[in-house]
Amino acid sequence: MKRYCLTVNLVNNPEMIAEYEAYHKKIRPEIEESIREAGVTQMDIYRIDNHLFMIMETVDDFSFERKAKMDAENPKVQEWEQLMWKYQEGLPSAKDGEKWVVMKKIFAMEGEID
């Protein structure tokens, strides 16, 4: 198992944040299926104010590149991503078109830092 932590900001608008959360109460089945097919075994998203934090657990051979390719070939995922862009803002350090950014692990109570 691998674990990744990612972050993104939401548009700082209470109504839009509420809409975003409503979409995530129960995501579309085809979206959840695509996440699982890419090798994600668990995904949790947390929010404070307009900041989101995602924890993803994946199979050992998970690849962001493979997931991106799968997503690009899935019209339902593309539709979902376009909808979510309405609510999300890239971080100042994000590349053009990049939403969720992988965070650097800086502390581990046990074990080594990658």
- The per-residue pLDDT of the chain, averaged, comes to 95
**Domain containing residue 40: CATH number:** 3.30.70.1090
What mean pLDDT do residues 100-107 have? 94
Instruction: Kindly state the tokens that stand for 8.
Output: 């993104």
Domain count, the chain: 1
Q: Which residue has the tokens 């593309």?
A: 78
* The pLDDT value given to residue 79: 97
The reply to whether 58 falls in a domain is yes
Distance CA 56, CA 6 (A): 8
pLDDT band at 110 (very low <50, low <70, confident <90, very high): confident
* The pLDDT value given to residue 97: 83
Structural domain including 53 reads 2-102
Give the torsion sign (CA, 76, 82, 83, 87).
Answer: positive
* The pLDDT value given to residue 111: 74
pLDDT band at 113 (very low <50, low <70, confident <90, very high): confident
pLDDT band at 82 (very low <50, low <70, confident <90, very high): very high
Give the torsion sign (CA, 20, 35, 89, 76).
Answer: negative
- CB 104, CB 91: distance < 8 Å: no
The reply to whether 42 falls in a domain is yes
| Phi, psi for 102 (deg, rounded to 5) | -70, 130
Closest CA to 84 of 37, 30, 21: 21
